[in-house]
Structure 1
Amino acid sequence: MNEQQNENITNKIILEFGKTIEMFDLTPLEARLFAFLYLNEKALTLDEMSEALGKSKTSMSTSVRSLVDFNLVTRVWKKGVRKDLYQANFQLFKSFMPTYINKWIDATNHQLGSLEEIKGKLKQDNYEDNKELTIIKKRLNKIIDFHLEVEKSFRDMKKD
């Protein structure tokens, strides 16, 4: 009974943690695999991962390769073991955040540039008599301020 209870709890954690990990642009399988590896104390082979998650060895190989590329999983060597072993990197925040903070900063800067371009066009053209457009211009300024605040927040996170 204890083993079944442990397995149920582990599966719930993998499911819920996997949902969080998916938010970092990982596929559901990659997210579940990372969560599974993170919960395991020892490095595992593709066969062990395949059996545990009920997926093919090929899909495990593809997913592990992706996780290695994201620096979330490391291939490890163990004396006497001929198969490749993989283990999750355990510093979660350091593994995930730098990449995604940079993505947010880049996306915010891109959007900010586009919004500033629209603002410049509105200044260039004479729309002063258009009351509706005056309201839109005020809202555009608030949208630009929002983007500046988002960018500042992510830059501050990057410093920490």
Structure 2
Amino acid sequence: MGEANETNLERINNQIISEFSKTLEMFSLNKTEAQLFVTLYLHEKPMTLDEMKDSLGKSKTAMSYAIRRLQEFNLVERVWQKGVRKDLYETREELYRKFMKTYVNRWLSALNKQINNLDDIQDNLTRYPDEHQEALKHKIHEAITFHHSLEEIFTNIKTNDFLRKDV
């Protein structure tokens, strides 16, 4: 009976990891990063790379790369425990806020880059007059306006109360 319960619990745990990681993939995490984050999130104590590797059935190199990416996104942190010589990692608190903040900042950064690139194209276009220039200028202007609209939306989300830590 105990073994059947363990198998059911493991199956349910795997389902949670699978479904939750699909959501996290929408935040531009790859499948391994998403699965690792959920595994760390569900685990009651910090994990070593070897434990992560064994839990997910992936290579230690894949776990090392994924944990570095999760650290870059400020979603996990390395922790210390007395008597443990290996690095330990755990998820950071405030899951929703961390994901949204990371996601919004990545969008704003990408939008800013695209706006700058489109502005450069627009500037270069005026140097080469021809009969199609006006149509292209109009299309570029529409693209820049679209990007500015998205930038405004994400800036509003960023400044909204639910992303501020002090709320």
TM interval, shorter chain, is 0.7 to 0.9
Aligned to 1:109: 112
State the shift of 1:138 in Å: 5.4
Aligned to 2:163: none
Which whole-Å CA distance do the structure 2 matches of 1:121 and 1:57 have between them?
48
Which whole-Å CA distance do the structure 1 matches of 2:126 and 2:77 have between them?
53
Aligned to 1:148: 148
Aligned-partner SS, 2:81 = coil
Deviates further, 46-55 or 19-28: 19-28
Question: Residues 67 and 119 (structure 1 numbering): CA distance in 2 closer, same or farther, change over 3 Å?
Answer: closer
Aligned to 1:68: 71
Which whole-Å CA distance do the structure 2 matches of 1:77 and 1:100 have between them?
28
Amino acid at match of 2:145: D
State the shift of 1:74 in Å: 1.5
Root mean square deviation of aligned Cα:
2.9
Amino acid at match of 1:85: L
Aligned to 2:165: none
Task: Give 5+ residue unaligned stretches, structure 2.
Answer: 161-167
Q: Deviations over 1:117-150 (max 9, x none)?
A: 55567778877xx7x9877665554433322210
Deviates further, 150-159 or 136-145: 136-145
Matched length: 157
Amino acid at match of 1:154: F
Task: Give 5+ residue unaligned stretches, structure 1.
Answer: none
Aligned-partner SS, 2:89 = strand
The structure that has the greater radius of gyration is: 1
Q: Deviations over 1:32-61 (max 9, x none)?
A: 111111111211222222211112334323
Which of residues 13, 18, 24 in structure 2 aligns to 1:10? 13
Within the alignment, does 1:86 sit opposite 2:89 as a pair? yes
Which whole-Å CA distance do the structure 2 matches of 1:157 and 1:95 have between them?
13
Which of residues 50, 59, 65 in structure 1 aligns to 2:62? 59
